[in-house]
Amino acid sequence: MATAVAATPRDAKLYKPEVPPDWCPGCGDYGVLTVLQRACGELGIPNEQLMVISGIGCSSNLPGFFKSYGMHSLHGRSLPVATGAKMANHEMTVIACGGDGDGYGIGQGHFIHAMRRNVNLTYIVMDNEIYGLTTGQTSPTSETGMKTKSTPHGNPEGQLNPIALALAAGCGFVARGFSGDINHLKSLYTQAIQYPGFALIDVFSPCVTFNKQNTFGWFKERVYKLEDKGHDAANWNAAMDRSKEWGAQIPIGLFYKNPNPKPSIDAADPALQGQGLAKAKKLGLAAEQRKKLIEEYV
């Protein structure tokens, strides 16, 4: 991983492009972006070594407001795109991001498999329990009973628990942050980026325009930090127990970090043992390789 060497910290401003964010004033995603800029600065990752890849949604606009290489891909597809990018150049630091609809709704199949596959990348989900960009419909993480544009009589469906899902899918780094607690969130980011495998950070990132239920105030009243309660992040069962808490008390922080992580898929792939594949100067088969392959059919 590019960040393995202790690099000199850099100014967070270096990750700010000319184009300012276009989110609604007060949107939770501002915090998510600012903290990411600070975390990358703290880790001293050169801009060109960062690949930030999103799907579609308000939250997925983030790469456009972050100075690095990036892709603003299709709704729900940030993870396969990011996986492909990592395979093609495993020396880059790859960060995938998007919304709850993007990752847990339309992209949910990729979400589970990316964790099972254990690609070494960081996945930040700006979870506002609503579809923001499409002006406020119910999302997989919307609470049951919640009134939205698509469920004016109350959401009849169950609420997805991404933390439990991630744990069950074999994710080695599972955390939850809150856009209203910047310093806490930054430490989760730096740990996640340094973790040698798939790392999920679900971030409560309130939509101030369309979600009148799960507001900054609502979260502030409820969230508590796992580390304050002596939670052991190396204990998977304890993490699973904590993941079920929702209501008056909602945990944030590091739920689980595999103390003995297996090599990630990119680290284990025999084709990815040297420099990034994209850096190869000469393409195609060597004459000897080609001869040997043809000989198989004779």
Ligand X SMILES: Cc1ncc(C[n+]2csc(CCOP(=O)(O)OP(=O)(O)O)c2C)c(N)n1
Instruction: Pick the closer one to other proteins by CB: 81 or 167.
Output: 81
Collapsed DSSP state (helix, strand, coil) of residue 228: helix
Q: Which does 23 bind (CB under 5 to 8 A by kind): ligand SF4, Mg ion, ligand X, none?
A: ligand SF4
Instruction: Identify each DSSP E strand in the chain by its residue range.
Output: 50-54, 69-72, 93-99, 122-127, 173-178, 199-204, 223-225, 250-257
Q: Which of 132, 140, 172, 253 binds ligand SF4 (CB under 6 A)?
A: 132
Establish if 209 lies at the interface with ligand SF4 (CB under 6 A). Answer: yes
Among ligand X, other proteins, Mg ion, none, what does residue 48 contact (CB within 5–8 Å per kind)?
A: other proteins
One-letter-per-residue 3-state SS of 279-295: HCCCCCCCHHHHHHHHH
Return the SS3 of 204.
strand
Nearer to ligand X, 60 or 120 (CB): 60
Residue 251, helix vs strand vs coil: strand
Span of 123-131, 160-168, 228-236, 270-278 interacting with Mg ion by CB under 5 A? 123-131
Separation between Cα atoms, residue 210 and residue 269, nearest integer Å:
44
Residue 100 interacts, among other proteins, ligand SF4, Mg ion, none and using kind-specific CB cut-offs from 5 to 8 Å, with: Mg ion
Asked if 211 interacts with other proteins (CB under 8 A), we say: no
> Pairing state of beta strands 173-178 and 69-72?
unpaired
Q: Which residue has the tokens 């594949």?
A: 277
Does 58 bind ligand SF4 (CB under 6 A)? Our answer is yes
Q: How far is residue 210 CA from its own chain's centroid?
A: 23
Residue 245 CA to chain centroid, in angstroms? Answer: 21
Decide whether 66 or 210 has the Cβ nearer to Mg ion.
Answer: 210
Q: Does 57 bind ligand X (CB under 6 A)?
A: yes
- Binding site partner of 49, from other proteins, Mg ion, ligand SF4, none, Cβ cut-off 5-8 A by kind: other proteins
Interface with ligand X by CB under 6 A: which residues?
56-59, 75, 98-102, 126, 128, 130-134, 139, 207
Interface with Mg ion by CB under 5 A: which residues?
99-101, 128
